[in-house]
């Protein structure tokens, strides 16, 4: 049983613990000697491992996705924690507790399933409710839907992440539907619950999170539409136009061709789903990145490669009693000279913060259907 987790490792600690090998890369140093870089994970995160000696001997003992007992010293290199590994032994799966190695949603599955069921029961449209009930009564589907992560790296990268993300987007749909009551709320809710449903097949999540062959060849959008079509065949009275609009939500929810969307959003519900999906994904992605460094004294995170920036974590305010008392600045009764008076006036910024200036030269033709669009589609 694990005693020290990734989140607990401190610089100069001697670590002798089991980990799951998420990645394994062998490189060649400038002196011509091989070295090995490992991504070691448990349920609290990942840490890089480096092997400089006995590379061939140790490499022959294990492969990616194996469990290994690692002995090494922790050090910080370029702001990142890593383990300099001295010894390593492969472990059988029976020797470990799987729950120690894969990250899991902080929300209990039973709680999320109850919320999902309530959402489905609350659908006013009988056809959409029947479609969702067909999914909920499919035990094999539900086993995967409640266990799958929402992504491999970007957001909700943990068991149960897909359901957590889908419910969050559905919750945002409820919020925005109250603001805009003319929207097709039921269609949006079902679109939110099913927009990423293809990830139950796109991703492999028994150990580390990887793409399946079907995921690489088809992608979760195409797989999701196929899963919906399978259920629609069981519902011969399902309105054809409603089926088309639902499929359009799935096909367009990534927004742009360059982001993997076969279609761009062309209904108001599709536009909204695209933005709400992106909003919840980014909130979770940034929060997760910030929470990876709870002990860091810096008010900034490490560089986030996918978002291409650092994030400000904030500086906790000291209690009021600890703050130094500010003394009021002494005021002079002497009138200012004209030159001093001119210097005291706030200078006007050279740029404007008006919305028009911020959006100038930006292409905001969100729903355009130009000739290129028609040719692409």
Q: What is the three-class DSSP state of 292?
A: coil
Query: Tens digits of per-residue pLDDT, 197-210?
Result: 999 999 988 777 88
Does 145 lie in the same domain as 190? yes
- The dihedral sign for the CA sequence 255, 261, 266, 271: negative
Q: Which helix (H) or strand (E) holds 131?
A: helix 126-136
Q: What is the rounded distance in angstroms from the CA atom of residue 180 to the CA atom of residue 175?
A: 9
Q: What is the three-class DSSP state of 341?
A: helix
Given 270, 290, 310, the domain boundary residue is: 290
CA distances from 93 to 25, 45, 48, 101, 144 (A): 22, 19, 22, 11, 21
Q: Where are the beta strands (DSSP E) in 127-223?
A: 203-204, 210-211
pLDDT at 294: 64
Does 20 lie in the same domain as 123? no
Question: Would the pTM count as exceeding 0.75?
Answer: no
Q: Indicate the DSSP class of residue 104.
A: B
Given 275, 290, 305, the domain boundary residue is: 290
Which residues fall within 8 angstroms of residue 174, CB to CB, at 6 or more apart? Answer: 185, 189
Does 58 lie in the same domain as 115? no
Query: Tens digits of per-residue pLDDT, 10-35?
Result: 999 999 999 999 899 999 998 999 99
CA distances from 300 to 45, 138, 280, 288, 292 (A): 19, 45, 22, 14, 12
Does 115 lie in the same domain as 93? no
Domain that holds residue 235: 109-290
- Under a CB-based contact definition with an 8 Å cutoff, are residues 22 and 208 in contact? yes
Does 216 lie in the same domain as 155? yes
pLDDT at 80: 86
Q: Where are the beta strands (DSSP E) in the chain?
A: 14-28, 34-42, 45-51, 67-77, 80-91, 203-204, 210-211
Does 171 lie in the same domain as 45? no
Q: What is the three-class DSSP state of 296?
A: coil
Q: Is there a domain that residue 24 lies in?
A: yes
Q: Which helix (H) or strand (E) holds 11?
A: none
CA distances from 100 to 19, 39, 297, 373 (A): 9, 16, 27, 48
Which residues fall within 8 angstroms of residue 155, CB to CB, at 6 or more apart? Answer: 161, 165, 280, 281, 282, 284, 285, 288
**pLDDT 10s per residue in the chain (377 long)?**
688 999 889 999 999 999 999 899 999 998 999 999 999 998 888 899 999 999 999 999 999 989 999 999 999 988 889 999 999 999 998 888 877 888 889 899 999 999 999 999 999 999 999 999 999 999 999 999 999 999 888 888 888 999 999 999 999 999 999 999 999 999 999 999 999 999 999 998 877 788 899 999 999 999 999 999 999 999 999 999 999 999 999 999 999 998 889 999 999 999 999 999 999 999 998 988 888 776 677 888 888 888 889 999 886 545 544 545 545 445 445 555 555 555 544 444 443 444 444 444 445 444 444 444 444 44
pLDDT at 291: 82
> Which CATH number is 77's domain given?
2.40.50.140
Domain count, the chain: 2
Q: What is the three-class DSSP state of 119?
A: helix
Q: Is there a domain that residue 318 lies in?
A: no
């Amino acid at each position: 049983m694990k005693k020290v987790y990734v989140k607990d490792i401190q610089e100069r600690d001697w670590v002798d613990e089991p980990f799951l090998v998420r990645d394994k890369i062998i490189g060649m140093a400038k002196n011509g000697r091989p070295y090995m870089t490992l991504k070691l994970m448990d349920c609290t995160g990942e840490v890089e491992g480096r092997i400089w000696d006995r590379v061939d001997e140790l490499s022959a003992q294990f492969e990616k996705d194996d469990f290994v007992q690692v002995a090494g010293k922790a050090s910080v290199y370029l702001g990142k924690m890593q383990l300099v590994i001295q010894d390593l032994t492969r472990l059988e799966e029976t020797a470990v507790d799987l729950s120690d190695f894969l990250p899991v949603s902080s929300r209990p599955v039973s709680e999320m399933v109850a919320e999902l069921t309530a959402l489905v029961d609350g659908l006013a449209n009988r056809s959409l409710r029947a479609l969702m009930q067909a999914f909920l009564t499919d035990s094999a589907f539900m086993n995967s839907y409640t266990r799958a992560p929402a992504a491999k790296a970007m957001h909700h990268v943990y068991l149960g992440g897909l359901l957590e993300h889908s419910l969050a987007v559905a919750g945002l749909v409820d919020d925005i539907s109250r603001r805009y009551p003319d929207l097709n709320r039921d269609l949006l809710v079902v679109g939110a619950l099913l927009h990423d449903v293809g990830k139950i097949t796109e991703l492999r999540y028994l150990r580390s999170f990887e793409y399946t062959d079907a995921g690489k060849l088809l992608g979760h959008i195409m797989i999701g539409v196929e899963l919906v079509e399978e259920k629609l065949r069981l519902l011969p009275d399902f309105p054809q136009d409603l089926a088309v609009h639902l499929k359009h939500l799935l096909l367009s929810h990534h927004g742009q061709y360059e982001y993997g969307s076969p279609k761009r959003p062309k209904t108001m519900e599709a536009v909204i789903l695209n933005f709400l999906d992106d909003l919840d994904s980014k909130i979770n992605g940034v929060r997760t990145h910030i929470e990876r460094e709870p002990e860091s004294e810096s008010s900034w995170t490490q560089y986030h490669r996918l978002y291409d920036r650092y994030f400000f974590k904030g500086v906790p305010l000291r209690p009021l009693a600890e703050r130094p008392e500010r003394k009021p600045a002494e005021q002079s009764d002497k009138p200012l000279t004209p030159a001093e008076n001119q210097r005291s006036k706030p200078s006007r910024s050279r740029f404007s913060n008006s919305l028009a200036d911020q959006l100038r030269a930006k292409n905001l033709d969100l729903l355009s259907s130009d000739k290129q669009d028609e040719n692409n589609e």
